[in-house]
Structure 1
């Protein structure tokens, strides 16, 4: 319980001060180790493997500190964010917690719930090793608030090669129109659900990819800055395309999280899945090799990014241990070990790439040469309340199929939250 952790923190406070900067030295003694609660939503598959890799490095790098899991399962943190917000409001914060880098941090910053890490960035060697665009996104009021551990690409389509081959589909579609044609072909050939899809936030990912194809990266990004209007005809046309694609997905989409949708793909019940590049690690963990991937048709060189990061709670019971966790996360070796398991690429440009898959090496190259586009579904483009409103609108549309109501709801959310996101 939290009271136990607070008492323990008081007992070991003097010792903890010794490891505030460099994580300390000496032998690790579990019976006296200070607990460091790390709150995440990584609870299974490649995500859990990536977390375990960080824990292993943390245990070695931070003697006198012991990892304590605060994991709450649920893709993209849908469940974890609710639990975290409740704990923060009750003055019961974990020491460090996972958050998507970008606008998702705004509410935590405004509420004084996380610590300024600007000075630590220099100490930990992050200054000059993170891309300028990423630094810009996570800088608020001239300060840095979270440590990115890995970058993912959101706008990726995954395939079951055998299902596609059975319908004579042997190449990746280049345009959204061609993609829709392939979905129709699969259904005519007896594939009930050509596109594997999950709940609200995964539907938001799909909508965002369609919007990028129809509006282009610049106008898409403008949807979250106010430069592009959600009420416009271009958005209405994109919603038409989205509704068409959605019609080729599984009927039980609203009850599935993304790993369950991935199983539909691996089990041959779908030909495609639109999901971020963490799917590769999930498929490998399931010993399924008959897959391929490509950028969402029509997105061109757009690299829709999200960055997993960790923030230090301002009310942490063990701030020294929390900083030692963040230093582990910030290290090039920690980022390499994490990405090998999770399927991401390091946020640091100087991290080793030993053990990376061909996809990861390709993604790292695209990250340097592509057009960076943020994601509302994963917090880099919009604040948490805006994301919640968009998810609710997509969830309602999944049942009602009312395109005018969807556009109206998305426009209303933008009007309300664009100043925050």
Structure 2
């Protein structure tokens, strides 16, 4: 097996679209995770060879667009990577994917995945994705910076969080909350919405089941604007690794981001790293997942099935998640195989209430995520709460300036 290249002589090709490329340093951990999964596949599925055309193609400008075109033209790969949830709605509507319920039973996944995650993966009674791992959105703190400001506890509410930010600023940390551009700002908004509105209201808003006109929405958006006033003014120009460096380098006390940031913080030498759910969201687990699917008409279905079985296996989950910083979804995974933070997240995955993320496709379809991200980006410059509310509502309804036409189908999540 030659990851990202051609299969070994005599091996049947299994073509898997996976998004991390050789020339993107921001995705080094993801590429290492996919390559490690390919090695498990090679051991488990002799006679088949893993090929990732995104890497092998050498700089395809937009591999997702290429994939969509191939699916429309009935020229699918054998599998492709996706975030389970709303991101796949259009593919499900178009009949591009094969349901995997029988395979979940055959491979024993029904018995080893948390019930909450199984429900989250289920769309209209069917399962279309094999999860490789789960990430969690968390608030990260630089313990040394916080201690110098006299902050030894962890903020339990949004008000306490704002008081911490005030204390940091008074202690000389001018921009105490690190933030990057685009989707990192939407992550922060989601943390505020979940904190202020609770999980049921939060989910209903992204699902289009509640409107955005309530007083509680206005209060949450005002609170988000307040948090922005504590962030670095160059936020619109920073990718997430640069925002993470503000935290690890001591220029900020806090950062809200997915736990893929752990590796970057460790590499930067942040020894005293604090972490917690966003203040006011205790008992929830805001998640996004990495998963792989089976396209309808996959040219090598035997190889595709073997690939997906490797993705869901104990060995595959360990290989993928130990390199990416995410956690396995199997309840029979051995926590001892993972560092301290991941062990805590593994425990929480089974007992916390799972809440999806619009920023990362588990709560929203791609066109909604794009529209809402655009609205949040405009707010970063304008500070116009009324416009932010209107733009988000329009984006969720499919009427925003950044929104593409949406499918009219409605999907019911949960229940097998």
TM bracket, shorter-chain basis? 0.7 to 0.9
The Cα RMSD (Å) is 2.6
- Pairing of 1:276-287 with structure 2 (within 5 A): 276-287=258-269
* Residues 281-317 of structure 1, C-alpha deviations (whole Å, 9 max, x = no match): 3323455433221111111212112221111222434
Q: 2:192 aligns with which of 203, 210, 222?
A: 210
Task: Name which of structure 1's ranges 233-242 and 280-289 shifts more when overlaid on structure 2.
Answer: 280-289
Displacement after TM superposition at 1:235 (Å): 0.6
* Residues 98-147 of structure 1, C-alpha deviations (whole Å, 9 max, x = no match): 11111221111112222222222122221222222222222223322110
Kindly indicate whether the alpha-carbon contact (under 8 Å) linking 2:292 and 2:308 is maintained by their aligned counterparts in 1.
yes
List gaps (5 residues or longer) in structure 2: 22-26, 56-60, 399-405, 412-416
Aligned residue pairs: how many?
Answer: 389
Residue 292 (1) aligns with residue 274 (2): yes
Kindly indicate whether the alpha-carbon contact (under 8 Å) linking 2:335 and 2:346 is maintained by their aligned counterparts in 1.
no
The residue number in structure 2 matching 1:358 is: 340
Displacement after TM superposition at 1:374 (Å): 1.8
Task: Name which of structure 1's ranges 263-272 and 241-250 shifts more when overlaid on structure 2.
Answer: 263-272
Displacement after TM superposition at 1:157 (Å): 0.6
* Equivalent-residue separation in structure 2 for 1:330 and 1:180 (angstroms): 41
Displacement after TM superposition at 1:191 (Å): 2.8
TM-score scaled to structure 2, two decimals?
A: 0.85
The residue number in structure 2 matching 1:142 is: 125
Q: 2:302 aligns with which of 305, 308, 320?
A: 320
The residue number in structure 1 matching 2:81 is: 98
* Equivalent-residue separation in structure 1 for 2:162 and 2:115 (angstroms): 36
Q: 2:108 aligns with which of 103, 117, 125?
A: 125
The residue number in structure 1 matching 2:155 is: 173
Task: Name which of structure 1's ranges 210-219 and 358-367 shifts more when overlaid on structure 2.
Answer: 358-367
* Equivalent-residue separation in structure 2 for 1:79 and 1:399 (angstroms): 28
Partner-residue secondary structure (3-state), 1:273:
strand
Partner-residue secondary structure (3-state), 2:296:
coil
- Pairing of 1:8-407 with structure 2 (within 5 A): 30-43=8-21, 44-71=27-54, 81-82=64-65, 84-89=67-72, 93-154=76-137, 156-407=138-389
Q: Taking structure 1 as reference, are residues 319 and 45 closer, same or farther at Cα in structure 2, changes over 3 Å only?
A: same
* Equivalent-residue separation in structure 2 for 1:281 and 1:80 (angstroms): 26
The residue number in structure 2 matching 1:22 is: none
* Equivalent-residue separation in structure 1 for 2:101 and 2:12 (angstroms): 25
Partner-residue secondary structure (3-state), 2:378:
helix
* Equivalent-residue separation in structure 1 for 2:268 and 2:106 (angstroms): 39
Partner-residue secondary structure (3-state), 1:345:
coil
Kindly indicate whether the alpha-carbon contact (under 8 Å) linking 2:372 and 2:396 is maintained by their aligned counterparts in 1.
no
* Residues 12-55 of structure 1, C-alpha deviations (whole Å, 9 max, x = no match): xxxxxxxxxxxxxxxxx812323333222345343333223212
Task: Name which of structure 1's ranges 245-254 and 83-92 shifts more when overlaid on structure 2.
Answer: 83-92
Partner-residue secondary structure (3-state), 1:346:
coil
TM-score scaled to structure 1, two decimals?
A: 0.84
* Equivalent-residue separation in structure 2 for 1:397 and 1:298 (angstroms): 24
Displacement after TM superposition at 1:82 (Å): 4.7
* Equivalent-residue separation in structure 1 for 2:278 and 2:69 (angstroms): 36
List gaps (5 residues or longer) in structure 1: 9-28, 73-77
Partner-residue secondary structure (3-state), 2:168:
helix
